[in-house]
Amino acid sequence: MAKRLTPKRINAIRPDDRTRTYGDGRGGNGLTLAVQPNGVRYWYQRLRFEGRDINVGLGGFPAVSLAAARRAAVENRAKALAGINPQGQQRPKQRPIRRADARRQRIADGTATLADCIDAVILEHVEDGDWKNAAKTEQQWRASLRHVEPLTRREVAGIDATEITAELRALAAKHPTTAAAVLSRLGEAGDYAVDESLRPDNPFRSRAVRRRLKAVRRGKGGHHAAMPYAEVADAIQRARAVEHMAPVKALAFELIVLTACRTREVYGARWSEIGGDVWTIPASRMKAKAEHRVPLSPQALDVLRRARELHPDSELVFPSPRTRTELANGTSDEIAVKAAIKPYTMHGFRTSFRTWAMERTDADHAIMELSLAHKVGGSVERAYARSDMLAKRRELMESWGAYLFRDVARR
């Protein structure tokens, strides 16, 4: 993957016998630096406009800095999305009406398609600067929405909950995370349709759609498929033994099981959050938006020790081997397939822990629920009982770790 340009990298480039080009990497909006044999350097941007590739000149370097060129690239991309030629050329009057003009006309006539609403929402995000990396985020949106391409061609006014569920059912069963992202993006398009008076309601945010897709994702009973707790120890050993999977992913899986935390909480774990044998997850990364302290069993501490040995200089406990950023959502599916965990889900291991605690220990109901970061009692009761019962939760988590590794010597 091409690296992003930096001032240091640009200054290190030396001209040779022919013109060389250096792209600004993935997500760089097509920004490119050209270096001629005579040493002249200039910026240009390659864009797709109305079905054809165009090159837009942005000026010479260093008169136009890297930062200025990037800002211009973002603006040009927004223009292209809006149907405006970034090259500033006047279109011949006999040319067909631009796509953006046609979209605006359909919206005005009340005949807009779902695709029209999606294009309008993407344009708003780009123009308002909502996305840190506009090109990459737009690409992710459009790639995910190809799963429902037949639906996007329909007039948005005529789409109902039954159609939405039918389009997303197969995707939700196979790739639930992608299906959730698609539904969220369609929800924004639906909001736009309501705002433009194209329809009175937003079917993509209806309870009926969410309920039906949740049942598909979790199975007939409406719950995440959970592995019987007696089989969890073997699953850990299978994950350890997978040959064609980065060790850091197997370690992340072990910590998910040992702490009964959610996958995103583990994938986003940072060393700055670990203090001795307590892991403090900030409210910003918790589902309930409240700080959560996790007691670390000896087995969990061993996982952290091995993770530190793998990536001693990383801020993240489990960095992606390729990007050094947080592990992607697809990691859970990869682990589940390679470690033969399917049809059970990663989230289901929280249920495995909860069932074990209920059947094999004398732990209080509140201790089990607090270990899962669930709220216990009503708002008044919680106001008076503010302890998170860390010591008692530690006893439970240490028992869980000992149970999982009762017959296995640690590596």
Q: Which domains, and CATH codes, for the chain? A: 7-77 (3.30.160.390), 99-218 (1.10.150), 229-404 (1.10.443.10)
Q: In a 3-state reduction of DSSP, which class is residue 43? A: strand
Q: In a 3-state reduction of DSSP, which class is residue 301? A: helix
Q: Could you give the C-alpha distances from 170 to 71, 88, 164, 297, 330, in angstroms and in order?
A: 40, 45, 11, 39, 17
How much is the pLDDT for 99?
A: 62
How much is the pLDDT for 2?
A: 61
Assigned token pair, 181:
């992202």
Distance of CA 311 to the CA centre of its chain: 23
Q: Could you give the C-alpha distances from 322 to 66, 117, 237, in angstroms and in order?
A: 26, 35, 24
Q: Determine contact, residues 76/32, Cβ cutoff 8 Å.
A: no
Q: What angle do CA 15, 20, 21 make, to 5 degrees?
A: 130
**Calpha distance 213→30 (Å, rounded):** 38
Assigned token pair, 101:
């003009």
Q: Tokens 């006893």 appear where?
A: 395
Assigned token pair, 267:
């994938």
Per-residue pLDDT of the chain (411 residues; tens, 9 = 90+): 467 888 888 888 888 878 888 888 877 788 999 888 878 888 999 888 777 778 888 888 888 888 888 988 888 888 888 878 887 643 333 333 456 778 888 888 889 999 999 999 998 888 878 777 778 788 888 888 999 989 999 999 999 988 898 888 888 877 887 888 898 899 999 999 999 899 999 999 888 887 777 766 555 444 556 788 889 999 999 988 887 888 999 999 999 999 999 999 999 999 999 999 999 999 998 988 889 999 999 999 999 999 999 999 999 999 998 888 898 877 887 888 888 887 788 888 999 999 999 888 888 888 999 999 887 755 534 443 456 789 999 999 999 999 999 865 444
How much is the pLDDT for 381?
A: 41
Q: What are phi and psi of 57, to 5 degrees?
A: -75, 140
**Calpha distance 80→85 (Å, rounded):** 6
**Calpha distance 111→404 (Å, rounded):** 59
**Calpha distance 207→300 (Å, rounded):** 39
**Calpha distance 27→32 (Å, rounded):** 12
Q: For helices 247-259 and 348-360, what crossing angle results, to 10°?
A: 40
DSSP string, 178-234: HHHHHHHHHHHHHHHHHHTTS-SS-GGG-HHHHHHHHHHHHTTTTS-----GGGHHH
Q: What are phi and psi of 319, to 5 degrees?
A: -75, 150
**Calpha distance 281→288 (Å, rounded):** 11
Of 134, 213, 223, 219, nearest to 181 by C-alpha is 213
**Calpha distance 258→344 (Å, rounded):** 17
Q: Tokens 């069932």 appear where?
A: 355
How much is the pLDDT for 52?
A: 77
**186-232, pLDDT tens digit by residue?**
999 999 999 989 999 999 988 888 777 776 655 544 455 678 888 99
Provide the 8-state DSSP code for 374.
-
Q: Could you give the C-alpha distances from 302 to 164, 238, 254, 348, in angstroms and in order?
A: 46, 18, 10, 23
**Calpha distance 325→111 (Å, rounded):** 43
How many residues are there in the chain? 411
Q: Determine contact, residues 19/39, Cβ cutoff 8 Å.
A: no
**224-270, pLDDT tens digit by residue?**
567 888 899 999 999 888 878 889 999 999 999 999 999 999 999 99
